[in-house]
Chain A
Amino acid sequence: MSMQQQVMIVNWRWTEFDEGINETVFKEKKYQQYLNRIEDLEGQCYKEYSVEYSQMCPNGLFVSMSIYKDKVTDPLFFNILGKYLNGNNEVLLFLHKRHMYDEKDVISILKKFEGKNLKCFLIAQGHDFIYFHTQKSGLLDESGGFFYAESTDKEFVRTFDKGSHKVRQPYFDRVWMHYQFELQNKIFELKEELFAWCLPLLLPEHPEEIAVGDLKTQLANAQGRALLSRINNFLGDLKKNPSSSRLLIDRQVLSREVEERKEIQRLEKAEGRSYFFNDYITNFKLQEKASSNSEANKLYKKTCDQLNTIFYGTESYTSKTALRELADDFSQLIQESPGLLAY
């Protein structure tokens, strides 16, 4: 059995590659002929870097890559990705949105390699943890390379060591850990914020029955936190829509979804971090399916059902009991998701 590697692949605008591979470059440089011998392309559109040893990632490998999403370039991208998904490797794949990748690509890539130990994330505009600046932990700078900074005092940071030609620790570990566990963090934060703002409705002096309108007002009091939009984003395609004429639903839903996305984007910009659930939930659903662990998936659906009942049910009142049950559902889901949070 081959040695298990922890592989991080970042498809991004690396300055080390003069140009990313798009349809034109692919055809000009006749990359078609390399599809079955992609090793010959190392250094041209992808490059491997070894990683300093750590207990968490004893066999780390970092791969830089710059391939634009296109039907023509897809086979090249998939062949390179497939190379690292050999055996029992764990792979984290990061796709730059500016390279024309979106949520649909995350789903199709995960489905194409279903059963493999692959997680896939979208990154852009320096907002994600993988960029050093967001939390002084990530690997990338904002201009196409590994983060490097120094000043005349003794503070000195470099995430890549030019001497040993290795990606440095603990930066690799921190990024690795963050993306392995980020879904749990996001669910946890959503739960905590939701209940922090609902607390006045749960006090002993408040009656058992709670008007759904009051609940939504409480969430709206959390100005700029986009709480209801984040709940809807968490629900994704499981969100229940109010009954109305089909055409009206489509228009209303589309317009509301656009507004909600904008609201979450504003929060992301203000906080310098990611709040969308989309790619994380997709990874979660497909990973859990692949590992035959349907428990987490069931808990996700159960939590969504309870959210739908409370916020989008036919009743205009909910109750303290329903909110407590929702908190329990969230807690169980968090417990079942991989991560560091102690429940």
Chain B
Amino acid sequence: MPRSVYFIANTEPVVTVLAGYFKARGWQWLQYPLADMPAVEYLLVLEPFQIGMEMYSLSNAWKPWLMGAYPQTRLIVASFQHSRHSNCLNLLDLPDNINTWLEKTRPVSDFPLVDSGVEAADQKYVDPWNFDLVRSGQNLNERMKKFVTGHEEAKSFFALMTTIRKDLKDLETYRERNNLEKAISANKSLNELWEYFDHRWNYYSSIFDYLPYQNAIRTIANSVEFLRKNLPEDIYRPILQTENDRITAYSTLLKKLPVEEIEKELDTILNTMRKDMEPYIFIEKEW
């Protein structure tokens, strides 16, 4: 039974040529099933990996997760670049004997974080995986950091979720007290923040399919879908131009909201991000 190299790649001409190269040397060349995320011995990521119109380097997003889930995996980064890294495969100069080369690669467990000697919490550890690593494309993990931190502190993932929750509480309180003016104001704020979050979620969703923490992504996606359907309408939206539109919107706003369910979904989003995604995104800080 031939041994297998699983790949994550979408540069078609290279995938085809590598299929021939590995098969000619007695290896099975198989696409890694991202839907199932099984344990495999060799996982090759071909870089850059194109998502939309952007080119990404995936290995920094995958290595921390593999370290936790399947530490014996030998993660291989293939690209058109020379490197001294044990797990970087230079496509410009492929070895004739790939068996020997593969034997010399190291499992991700060989790259635990080490103390940097720096006191700052977010710099206390460094990842030896990055020593001599060559990346081709934007660092996907850095992109995920941007997704979490946003373009300003008040619009970070956590700040948005927390403020949306506060606005929701305010809205419900004012609604119960029949203070329509304040309820409308809280609703406006809630909708602005939700619009911001929802756009960010949509904008980044193209890269989510290629991240390793798929269960967490799916959990958050379900909660986002629930919130899309159940958050109250923004009655300021210019599309609501007729009086009837506005009356309908007011009645929606005054209708009892499923506050408990909405809060539950907001909690799910926050907890999932905190427990199942953040430790792999901000590894130097979290581990």
Q: Quick one: closest B residue to A342, CB to CB?
A: B135
* B75-116, CB < 8 A from A: 80-82, 91-96
In the assembled complex, how far is the CB of residue A36 from the closest CB belonging to chain B, in whole angstroms?
39
Q: How far does the Cβ of A134 sit from chain B's closest Cβ, in whole Å? A: 8
Q: How does the 8 Å CB contact mask read for B5-37 relative to A, with 1 for contact and 0 for none?
A: 000000101100100010000000000000000
CB distance from B105 to the nearest CB of A (A): 18
CB contacts between A and B, total, < 8 Å: 100
In the bound assembly, the distance between CA atoms of A221 and B17 in angstroms comes to 14
Which residues of chain A are within 8 angstroms of B52 by Cβ–Cβ distance?
Answer: 135
- Closest A residue to B52 using CB positions: A135
Query: Does B144 lie at the interface of the complex (its beta carbon under 8 Å from any beta carbon of A)?
Result: no
Contact size range, B: 35 or more
Residue of B nearest to A151 (CB): B239
Q: Give the Cβ gap from B27 to chain A, nearest Cβ, in Å.
A: 15
**B139: interface (CB < 8 Å):** yes
Let me know if B138 and A153 touch, CB within 8 A. no
Task: Tell me which of B157-165, B194-202, B208-216, B260-268 binds A.
Answer: B194-202
CB of A338, distance to nearest CB on chain B (Å)? 14
User: How many angstroms from the CA of A331 to the CA of B82 in the assembled complex?
Assistant: 10
Q: Is the CB of A156 within 8 A of B81?
A: no
Question: Does the CB pair B14–A54 fall under 8 Å?
Answer: no
Question: Nearest-CB distance from A162 to chain B (Å)?
Answer: 8
**Complexed CA–CA distance, A19 and B10 (Å):** 47
- Tell me, in angstroms, the Cα distance from A328 to B13 when the chains sit together: 21
Whole-angstrom CA separation of A331 from B137 in the bound complex: 11
Contacts A150-B237, A192-B48, A341-B138 given: A327-B231 contact, CB under 8 Å?
no
Q: Is A56's CB within 8 Å of the partner chain B?
A: yes
Known contacts A188-B55, A323-B92; is A155 also within 8 Å of B152 by CB? no
Whole-angstrom distance from the CB of A188 to the nearest CB of chain B?
A: 7
Whether the pair B91, A199 counts as a contact (CB closer than 8 A) is: yes
Among B14, B135, B150, point to the contact of A196 (Cβ < 8 A). B14
* Complex contacts, A323 vs chain B, CB 8 Å: 92
Chain B residues near A154 (CB, 8 Å)?
194-195, 198, 228, 231
Q: Is B57 an interface residue (CB 8 A)?
A: yes
Are B228 and A202 touching (Cβ within 8 A)?
no
Contact call A343/B151, Cβ cutoff below 8 A: no
Are the CB atoms of A341 and B80 closer together than 8 Å? no
Contact of A214 with B by CB under 8 A: no
Q: A55-B151, A204-B94, A341-B137 are in contact. Are A152 and B17 (CB under 8 A)?
A: no
Contact call B199/A195, Cβ cutoff below 8 A: no
Residue B134 interfacial (CB < 8 Å): yes
Q: Which residue of A195, A197, A199 has the most chain B CB atoms within 10 A of its CB atom? A: A199
In the complex, per-residue mask of A128-154: 1 if CB is within 8 Å of any chain B CB, else 0:
000000011100000000000010111
Nearest Cβ in chain A — how far from B204, in angstroms? 11
Please state if B139 and A342 are interface contacts (CB–CB under 8 Å): yes
Contact B92 A155 (CB under 8 A): no
Report if B203 contacts A (CB, 8 A). yes
A289 interfacial contact with B, CB 8 Å: no
Q: How far is B177's CA from A255's CA once the two chains are assembled, in angstroms?
A: 77
Judge whether A202 and B91 touch: CB under 8 Å.
Answer: yes
Kindly provide the distance from the CB of A330 to the nearest chain B CB, expressed in whole angstroms: 9
Q: List 15 A–B pairs whose Cβ atoms lie within 8 Å, in order of A's numbering.
A: A137-B203, A154-B198, A156-B237, A170-B200, A188-B55, A188-B137, A192-B48, A192-B136, A195-B80, A196-B11, A196-B80, A199-B13, A200-B17, A328-B82, A342-B137
